[in-house]
Amino acid sequence: MKAKVITAHLGEGTFPDFPQGTKVTITGDECSDFRHWYPCEIDGYQTYIPKHFFAEEVLTRDYNPTELIQAEGDIITVEEIAYAWLKATNEKGQTGWIPAQSVVSL
């Protein structure tokens, strides 16, 4: 699905790919702004994770929490939806997460 960014998103840094089976430590309660997302530590990195990506303190799939930095008006291709966030690829070939509230479908 193609989408247009309606609110610029700056992101919170770049992360490595974490393979399935990597240890996940949940460090707080569910995020109040984004249900089903939890603050966590993965391999020494502080980040967030959707609840269905981990079980019994390990990743149940490969995961990269990097957010997609986008300007208003940019076009992205949505690859996956996890609650209120979209994993997407921009026209430069960069992939990352962006809040669904920052885009409209085309």
Which residue type is seen at 40? C
Please report the pLDDT score of residue 13 as a whole number. Answer: 87
Other beta carbons within 10 Å of 48: 18
Query: pTM (2 decimals)?
Result: 0.94
Name residues whose C-beta falls within 8 Å of residue 11's C-beta, 6 or more positions apart in sequence.
Answer: 66, 67, 68, 69, 96
The domain 2-12+66-105: what is its CATH number? Answer: 2.30.30.40
Positions of CATH 2.30.30.40 in the chain:
2-12+66-105
Residue 18, pLDDT score: 98
Residue 74 has pLDDT above 90, yes or no: yes
pLDDT at 12 (0 to 100): 87
C-alpha span between 91 and 61 (Å, rounded): 26
